[in-house]
Amino acid sequence: MANHRFQFLKWWRKLTRREWTIAAASLAILVLTLSFISHSNNSAIPANDLMIPFTPLSNAQQKSAFCLDGSLPGYHLQKGFGSGSDKWVLHIEGGGWCNSIETCSFRQTTKLGSSRFMEHEVQFFGILSSDPSQNPDFFDWNKVKIRYCDGGSFSGHPDSEFKNGTEFYFRGQVIWEAVTDELLSIGLSYAKKALLSGCSAGGLATLIHCDDFREILPKDANVKCLVDAGFFLNDKDVAGSPTIERFYQDVVNLQGVAKSLKKDCTSRLEPYKCFFPQEFISSIKTPVFLVQPGYDFWQIQNILVPRSSDPHQSWFRCKLNINNCNSKQLEVLQDFRNSLLKTLDGFHKNPEGGMFINSCFIHCQTWVTETWHSPRSPKINNKTIAEAVGDWYFNREEAKHIDCPFPCNPTCYHMNFTQG
């Protein structure tokens, strides 16, 4: 075991600045998941939140749809019931990206790059819950969790794969098409209502494939897209370096992502810039709802203040807990939030769009009960995220909620990475 730790540390120290970004992302997502699971275990799990088995894609071999390591991708499906039997909510799992041989090799040894390491069964919470008290508008729908194992937001293409003996399968686009084909064959093709959603890198995938999803469903179906913490800003870090832009450039070039991006964007910009939602969201025809924290800890830790921009670690405590930030650091964070709001100004004017921009130090919020819909959920205008999304999806009322700046909202769930 000690030797494994030593090898891991050697690998970690060899990472370039951009490669460290993705490794840190995977760690942050793991910590977030464990923190929420621990918090969730304080309350009883509803009896109707069953263990949902993993379903490998039956058409994977035929479609040549493989995870990074060549294993079979798949999903978890819980069938709808009652009035929800012809309604579908799909949720695309998140988990960062890989931008190099080293980071893709690392992902191959995790559930983010191989189904060999995925759980055989999972429980559904938040927007995938079957408990009406936790998920009032979508509890009885067909619910699908699409597992993420390609490292490119379901946008990679096989013609970019290495032919020099290094075995990587960049099949994100192929996986997306194979998953939707299989779901269409088991009932999705008859959907009256459908909501495509995703968290983080899955949220970015949702934006990229939103109009594609609309196209494959019946013309009279009510189809919309929900993006959770998937609006990644193309901002420079605190040292003035374009860290995230360089990282995305590597991802797009490595995995051949350009073919999956909006053509009206790639015709005017370099393809990697079209991996940023701000460059193509205005061309999405399908209605979109954005759930985005104003102080997204992943973006703060990896876009605004990556390790390379803070050699003296003056931001270390602040990045772990927003309550540890000093006044100057809070000014920088407020500017980052303002940059988000300014970038979303055009989207805010879209009459079909919805948004829930709260002032919480968090990342994804729709797949966990505590932040989706519970007595402890973050609220804006006395609405939980679930209530705001429901108002928007069913056209009950306009749903454009923007919070006041930190620390004004006492309902926020702030992640605290200093806790053991």
41 is written with which tokens?
A: 């275990």
Q: Roughly what angle, to the nearest 10 degrees, separates helices 243-255 and 17-40? A: 90
264 is catalytic: no
Catalytic residue among 76, 91, 157, 363: 363
Q: Could you give phi then psi for residue 298, rounded to 5 degrees?
A: -65, -45
Helices (H), 154-200: 172-185
403 is catalytic: no
Neighbours of 15 (CB within 10 A): 18
- Secondary structure E strands in 280-365: 288-296, 354-362
Catalytic residue among 235, 250, 296, 403: 296
User: Which contacts of 379-382 are long-range, i.e. CB under 8 A and separated by 24 or more positions?
Assistant: 379/409, 379/411, 380/356, 380/409
Contacts of 112 (CB under 8 A, 6+ apart): 26, 95, 96, 148, 149, 151
Catalytic residue among 155, 197, 200, 359: 200
157 is catalytic: no
CA-angle at 202, arms to 197 and 208, nearest 5°: 80
The neighbouring-strand residues paired with 123 are 51
Contacts of 11 (CB under 8 A, 6+ apart): 102, 106
Alpha carbon distance 11, 30 (integer Å): 19
Do the beta carbons of residue 144 and residue 384 sit within 8 Å?
no
Residue 230, helix vs strand vs coil:
coil
Q: Which residues are catalytic?
A: 200, 296, 363
